[in-house]
Structure 1
Amino acid sequence: MIDLRRSDGRIAVTEGLSAETKATRPIRKIALEEHYSTPELAKTYVARPTRSDTLFADIERRLADFDQLRLEAMDAAGIELSVLSVTTPGVQAVADTDLAIRLAREANDVLARQVQKRPHRYAGFAHLPTQDGVAAGAELERAVRELGFKGALINGQTAGHYLDADMYLPFWERVHDLDVPVYLHPGQLADQPAMFAGRPELDGPVWAWTADTVTHALRLVFAGTFKRFPRLKIILGHMGETLPHLLWRLDSRWEMELGEKLPRDDLPSTIIRRNIMITTSGVCDPNALVGAIAALGEDSVMFSVDYPYEDSTTAGAFIESAPISEIARAKVCHGNAEKILRL
Structure 2
Amino acid sequence: TMTFEILAIDAVVNIWTAEALANRPARKSFYVDKMRVGQGTFEGVSLEEMIARMDAAGIERSFLIAAKVGVKHHPACYQVPYAMVADAVQKYPSRFSGLAGVDPTEGMAGVRELERAVREYGFIGAHTYPHWFEIAPDHAKYYPFYAKCVELDIPIQLQVGQSMVYDATYPRRSVGRPISLDSVACDFPELKLVGIHVGIPWTDEMIAVAWKHANVYIGCDAHRPTYWPESFVRYINSFGQDKVLFGTDFPVLPFEQTRADIDALGLKPQILRKLLRDNAARIYRF
Normalised by the shorter chain, which TM-score bucket? 0.7 to 0.9
Please state whether the residue corresponding to 2:179 is helix, strand or coil.
Answer: helix
Corresponding residue number in structure 2 for 1:212: 174
Please state whether the residue corresponding to 1:123 is helix, strand or coil.
Answer: strand
Distance 1:269 1:234, change over 3 A: closer
Corresponding letter in the other structure for 2:5: P
Please state whether the residue corresponding to 1:184 is helix, strand or coil.
Answer: strand
The alpha-carbon deviation at position 67 of structure 1 amounts to 1.4
Query: Could you report, residue by residue, the CA deviation over 1:276-295 in whole angstroms, capped at 9, with x for unpaired residues?
Result: 21122132136455233268
Corresponding residue number in structure 2 for 1:35: 14
| Between 321-330 and 73-82, the greater mean CA deviation after superposition | 321-330
Whether the 8 Å CA contact 1:239–1:279 is kept in 2: the answer is: yes
Whether the 8 Å CA contact 2:224–2:261 is kept in 1: the answer is: no
Unmatched segments (≥5 aa) in structure 2: none
Corresponding letter in the other structure for 1:156: P
* 1:238 aligned onto 2:197: yes
Please state whether the residue corresponding to 1:274 is helix, strand or coil.
Answer: coil
Whether the 8 Å CA contact 1:131–1:158 is kept in 2: the answer is: no
CA distance in 1, matches of 2:137, 2:85: 24
The alpha-carbon deviation at position 331 of structure 1 amounts to 0.6
* 1:76 aligned onto 2:26: no
The alpha-carbon deviation at position 334 of structure 1 amounts to 0.4
Distance 1:95 1:288, change over 3 A: farther
CA distance in 1, matches of 2:53, 2:210: 36
1:21-170 to structure 2, matched below 5 A, reads: 24-37=3-16, 39=19, 42-45=22-25, 47-48=27-28, 49-50=30-31, 52=33, 55=37, 57-62=39-44, 65-68=46-49, 70-86=50-66, 90-95=68-73, 107-170=81-144
Corresponding letter in the other structure for 1:117: K
Q: How many residues get paired? A: 275
The alpha-carbon deviation at position 143 of structure 1 amounts to 1.1
Distance 1:290 1:278, change over 3 A: same
The alpha-carbon deviation at position 135 of structure 1 amounts to 2.3
Query: Could you report, residue by residue, the CA deviation over 1:239-272 in whole angstroms, capped at 9, with x for unpaired residues?
Result: 3434442379x7xxxxxxxxxxxxxxxxx5654x
CA distance in 2, matches of 1:157, 1:133: 17
Instruction: Considering fraction of residues, name the structure with more strand.
Output: 2
What is the RMSD computed on CA atoms of the aligned residues?
A: 3.5
The alpha-carbon deviation at position 65 of structure 1 amounts to 2.0
Whether the 8 Å CA contact 1:185–1:213 is kept in 2: the answer is: no
Distance 1:180 1:167, change over 3 A: same
| TM-score, reference length from structure 1 | 0.68
1:316-335 to structure 2, matched below 5 A, reads: 316-335=259-278
1:269-280 to structure 2, matched below 5 A, reads: 270-271=211-212, 273-280=213-220
Distance 1:119 1:288, change over 3 A: farther
Distance 1:31 1:307, change over 3 A: same
Distance 1:187 1:237, change over 3 A: closer
Please state whether the residue corresponding to 2:157 is helix, strand or coil.
Answer: strand
Query: Could you report, residue by residue, the CA deviation over 1:295-326 in whole angstroms, capped at 9, with x for unpaired residues?
Result: 86100011112211222111111223322211
* 1:339 aligned onto 2:282: yes
* 1:283 aligned onto 2:224: yes
Distance 1:183 1:32, change over 3 A: same
Whether the 8 Å CA contact 1:156–1:185 is kept in 2: the answer is: yes
CA distance in 1, matches of 2:206, 2:249: 25
Percent identity between matched residues is: 26
Instruction: Considering fraction of residues, name the structure with more helix.
Output: 1
Unmatched segments (≥5 aa) in structure 1: 1-8, 10-20, 190-201, 251-267
